[in-house]
Amino acid sequence: MKLKACIYIFVSFICISGLFSQTQNADSLYSRPLIEVLNNIEHQFGIKIKYDQKMIDGKVLTYADWRIKPWSVTETLKAVLAPFDYIYTMDNGKYKIKSFEYARTTTEEGKQFLDYLNLLYPNKTDWEQRKAQLKACLPSALGVSPMPTKPSTQIILTKIRKYNGYTVQNFALETLPGIYVCGSIYKSSLKMKQYPIILNPNGHFGQGRYRADQQNRCAMQARMGAIAVSWDLFAWGESLLQFDGTLHRLSAANAIQTLNTLRILDYMLSLKEADQTKVGITGGSGGGSMTMMVSAIDDRITLSIPTVMTSSYFVGGCPCESGLPAHLCGNRTNNAELSAMFAPKPQLILSDGKDWTANVPELELPYIKRIYGFYGAEENIENTHFPEEGHDYGISKRLAMYRFIAKHFNLDLKCISDSDGNIDESKVTIEKESEMYAFGEKGENLPKNAIKGKESLLKVLKEYQIIKE
C-alpha cells in the first residue's frame, strides 16, 4: 500500500511538473502586444506617446513587464523600444517613437558621452595621444587616405564679374577622373600683397550655394579683404548634370565631399596671392559638419567657425555627413570632440536654441574649453548663442562671423560698415543662379570626359579606393 501510494505521488508529481513546465514554457516570454504596453506606460507615468500606427500594429513585445522600470520613464521606453530598433524623441512635450537613428541620440546621452570622454584624457599628454589616434583614423574612414592622385587637368575658370569691392569668378575643378565640383571664387578689390583664404562649404539649405545668404557671406568676406570660395554639394547644383540627386544620399557622398573640399583647398593655396598663414573655414548645417571635420584633419586650416552643427549627440542626418564610419574612430567620437581637436587655434561656435546646438553654452562649450585650457588658450574658443533663433546661417550669425574673422585675420571692418559703423550687406549684388554656373546656362560646357550616373561613379570610386568592395 505504501509502495502504491509512493508511485501515485511520484506519478502525480511528474504530471503536475509536466503541466507546470508546459505552462511555464508557454508563458516564459511574458509576451504582450506593443500597443498594450505603450498604453500602460502612458497610464503609469502620466505621459503621452506619439507614433505611426503602422510601426506598432502587429508588434509583440517579449518579456514586456520585465522591461518596465517604475522609477524611470526614459529607461522604460529604451528597454521597450530597443527590440524593434525604435527610439523616442521629445515633440512638444510628448514622447515620439521613431526608427533608430545612428546619427542622433539625446541630450542626456550627449552629456554622458562627454563625461566619458573627459575621463579618457585628464591632461594634455593623454589628450594629445587621443588626438593623434583620431587624426590617424579619420582620413582613412573618410576614404581620403591615401589621397588619390590628382587629375592633370587645369581648373576651368569663367569670366570675372566686377562688383562693389569684390569680383566673382565661377570654377569647375576635376577632383577625380570625370568627376567635377563647381563653385565661385570671390576676390577682394582691396590692394594687398596677400589675402586670407576662407572656405565656405555649403549645407542642406534651399537653393544650395546660390541662395542670398551664402552669396552675402562670401561677398562680404571678400569686401573685407579675403578670398572666399563656395561650391556645390555633391549631386546638388551643377553636379546634377552628372549625377541624379538621389546619389547625394549615398554613403560615398561623405567621401566625395571631403575630397572636394581638400582639392579646393589645394587650389586656393596654390594662388600666389594666398596667405598660407590665414586659412579659415565656415559653413552651416552640413557645411558645419564639413567645417569641423576638415578643421580636425587638415593642419592648414588656421581659423574655424562651425555653425549650427556642434553637438555631442548629433553627427548629421545625411549620409554625406555621417555615411562613413568616421565617428566610430577611437571607439566612438562626436562633433564636440572634433571641434576640440582644433585647439588651440581660433574657433567660433555659432549655435541656436531650436536645433541640436541648443545646449552648447552649458554642455559642449565647457568640454571644448577644457581642451583649449590644456594649451592655455581658452581665449581662442568662443561661442555666440542665439536662443530664440533656428537652424540657419542668418544675418545675426553672419555678423558674429565677420567680427571674428576681422579680429583674428587683422581685417578692417570699416570696409563692410556704413557711416554709422554698422556692418552693412546692402552693397552686395545677389546674382541670378544661372550667372553662377561654370558649365553654362544649360550645361553646354560640361567637359567631354565627365562621367554620368551611378554605375560610372562607383567604378571610379572603387578604382581609386575611395570606397572598398
Q: pLDDT tens for residues 230-277?
A: 999 999 999 999 999 999 999 999 999 999 999 999 999 999 999 999
- Looking at residue 106, its pLDDT comes to 86
CATH 3.40.50.1220 fits 129-464, yes or no: no
Residues 6+ apart with CB under 8 A from 335: 289, 292, 306, 309, 310, 311, 312, 314, 315
pLDDT in tens, 327-357: 999 999 999 999 999 999 999 999 999 999 9
For 178-202, b/e burial (b = at least 16 CB within 10 A) is bbbbbbbbbbbebeeeebbbbbbbb
* pLDDT tens series, the chain, 469 aa: 444 444 443 334 334 344 333 334 445 799 999 999 999 999 999 999 999 999 999 999 999 999 999 999 999 999 999 999 999 888 778 899 999 989 988 899 999 999 999 999 999 999 999 999 999 999 999 999 999 999 999 999 999 999 999 999 999 999 999 999 999 999 999 999 999 999 999 999 999 999 999 999 999 999 999 999 999 999 999 999 999 999 999 999 999 999 999 999 999 999 999 999 999 999 999 999 999 999 999 999 999 999 999 999 999 989 999 999 999 999 999 999 999 999 999 999 999 999 999 999 999 999 999 999 999 999 999 999 999 999 999 999 999 999 999 999 999 999 999 999 999 999 999 999 999 999 999 999 999 999 999 999 999 999 999 987 5
CA 313, 318, 321, 323: dihedral to nearest 10 degrees?
Answer: 100
Q: Quote the CA–CA distance of 431 and 222 in Å, as a whole number.
A: 15
Which CATH number applies to 26-99? Answer: 3.55.50.30
Positions of CATH 3.40.50.1820 in the chain: 129-464
Q: Determine if the pTM surpasses 0.85.
A: yes
Positions of CATH 3.55.50.30 in the chain: 26-99
| CA geometry: angle 146, 149, 154, nearest 5 deg | 145
